[in-house]
Amino acid sequence: MREIIVTGGGTGIGYAIAEHFAAAGDSVTITGRRHEVLDTAAAALRATAVPFDATDPDAVTAAVAHLPERIDVLVNNAGGNTDFDRSTPEGLTALAAGWQANFQANVLSAVLVTAAVTPRLAAGARVITIGSIAARTGAGSYGAAKAAVEAWTADLAGELGPRGITANVVSPGLTERTEFFRGNLTEDRRHALITATATKRAGTPADIAALVGFLASPQAGHITGQVLHVNGGAHLGR
C-alpha cells in the first residue's frame, strides 16, 4: 500500500486527487489550514487529516511528526490566487504584501513541505506540484508565483533524480467545481476562457486527478522536470 500526502486536500482539486488515490486503495493523508473542512473531507475519504499552515516553517516542522514515516507520493496542491482575498493594492507597501502573499501561498508552501519530507521519500517516489496556466499566460503575482514553481521543480528533479524520484508540475487551466475564484468569476469571463479552449469546456478536478494519478504510477518513471498542461488546448505546452 502506497503512502500519499496531498496538501490542500480538503476541497476542489486537492480533494479530487485524494479521492483518486483513496479509491485505488492507497493510504492517504490530507493537509490544510481549515480544521473543520479537513476533518469532513478526511471522514468522507477515510483518510488521515493533519492540519497545519504549509507557509509557516515552524508549523511544517511540527507537522512532520504526524506524517507517514515513508512517503511514496507527495502532491503539493496547497495554494491559490491570494489576490482574490485582497482589495486592489494602493502604494508600494500594499503591492509588496500582495506579491509576498502569492509567493508564500504557492511557492513557499511547496518548498517547505517538500524539504521537510524529502528524507522520508521512498526510492522511486513521486513529487507532483500543481501549477497553473497563469505561469504562461500571466496573472500578476499569482502567475509569477506559479512560474517560480516551474523553475523550482526543474531543480528538484535534478536533486531527487539519482534516487529514482521524479518531480513534475501539473498545470491546470480553467477548472470548475473549486473555490479558486472565490465568487469572482463573471459569466463573461467564464465564457471567454471556455471559448479559448479547443474542447469548448471547462476542466474539472477529476481531469487533474487523472493526470496526477498517471504521474504517480510506475509507468511514469522516466517523466521528470516537466510541466504537463491540462487546459483543453487554451495554452499549447510545446
Q: How far is CA 160 from CA 153, 156, 165, in A?
A: 10, 6, 5
Q: Tell me if residue 142 is catalytic.
A: yes
Catalytic one among 142, 165, 205, 224?
142
Tell me how far apart the alpha carbons of residues 179 and 34 are, in angstroms, rounded to a whole number.
13
DSSP character string of 26-59: -EEEEEES-HHHHHHHHHHHT-EEEE--TT-HHH
H or E element: which one contains 125?
Answer: strand 121-130
Contact criterion met (CB below 8 Å) for 168 and 215: yes
> d(Cα 166, Cα 155) in Å, to the nearest integer?
11
Helices within the chain (DSSP H only): 12-23, 35-45, 57-63, 92-103, 109-117, 134-137, 140-160, 187-195, 205-215
- Active-site positions read 142
